[in-house]
Amino acid sequence: MFQVSKLLTTAFVASIALVTASPVTVKRDNFGLEWISKDSSLPKVVLYNTGGTIDSTSNYSTIDNVNYGSGPAFIPEYMLGNYSVILEKAQIAIVDMSKAGGSSNLNSTLYFNVSKAANEHLCSEGSDIAGAVMFHGTNTEEDTFFGVDLTLNCSKPFVATGAMRPQSYISHDGPSNFYQAVAVASDPKAGDRGGLVVFNDRISSAFYTIKTNGNTPDTFKALEQGNLGACLGGQPYWYFEPSYPVARYHFDLSSMQDGNQLPHVVVLFGSQGFDTSLMYAAVANGAKGIVIMGAGAGQLSTDAVKVAGELKAQGIPVVASLRPVTGASAPKPFEQNYISSGYMQAGKARIQLQLCLATGMGWEGCRDIFEKDMREVIYNDATSYYFS
């Protein structure tokens, strides 16, 4: 499922030692992790390297930030060698989960595998690992960090990071993001917040954060909810005391052996003239749930609502998400044929629906996970006008 990086070569360890004040050692622990360390008293942070721009280079130019990936891979061990200041914050163990082809070729088995590893390394009784960092290609990173966030069974920090510029670029962002992610993951104040995202000096919640720009380093943001903190001088400064996001639910996948067992959920774009035959086709192709990016705040066409009712009778949920980059798809005051996604965009709604189905919640159970908190806020004695 996942592979611990092989023991670092003598040449690599020596290359770090040349630029550090103390010698670098590598020690294996009971998990089989090999810890790269300058100081054994520092916190331990495990790095799950799934690849991405942060590991990439370009053969074209040092100003290429659009067609990179053709150059040699820049593995995390090299980054530790070039930026050994990272080892002044924590001891690092590297778990290689990278695959060729970029994050657009990944699927939900990745978040399952990362979550399974993190639950073992962070949440096992007696574990002395302070936190985890994940490298990931930014194209689909929010799918993976959201899936891990909802399935990690302890309060230790899990921090997602990466890069928007390859290592060959004249001002690459990867090393800074790496250092800051390690600083956050090793900070005692980072726990009890759920999954975290660290990019471009900012710390935000994995539950709410989305990628907002396809090209610029300042892309991962929680637009409505804001940042949890910032990195100043590389160190985390928290704006708030620890707390978990409202409506964040934990899903236990410990009984599932393989990520391929996760139910198939598709996302459809709810344009004008939406073709409802796509909903039937998705089910015929094995979909156990459907997310539709509805118009505005998750509005579905009359025909789509009708088909959603037919699928509801078959136990197949349809979730209405929203097309705008921010806002909420709020539930109606009356019974619906579909489920409203709340503040979740379609990508996150797909992951949560997949997890609801994987844990056997059924149509009504899935609806409660998505809608319960928002329903309680909107529909109560203060809004009795909806029912008069």
Residue 10 has what pLDDT?
A: 39
Question: Which of 50, 53, 138, 209 is an active site residue?
Answer: 53
DSSP state of 126: T
Residue 62 has what pLDDT?
A: 95
Residue 102 has what pLDDT?
A: 66
B/e letters for 270-296, b = 16+ CB within 10 Å, e = fewer, are beeebebebbeebbeeebbbbbbbbbe
The model's pTM is: 0.92
Report, in angstroms and rounded to the nearest whole number, the Rg of the chain calculated over CA atoms.
22
Give CA–CA dist 298/138, Å, rounded. 25
Residue 100 has what pLDDT?
A: 57
Residue ranges in the chain modelled with pLDDT below 50:
1, 4-21
Tell me if residue 151 is catalytic: no
Name the token pair of 74. 């820049």
Give CA–CA dist 275/223, Å, rounded. 31
Residue 23 has what pLDDT?
A: 66
Residue 18 has what pLDDT?
A: 40
Residue 225 has what pLDDT?
A: 96
Give CA–CA dist 166/385, Å, rounded. 55
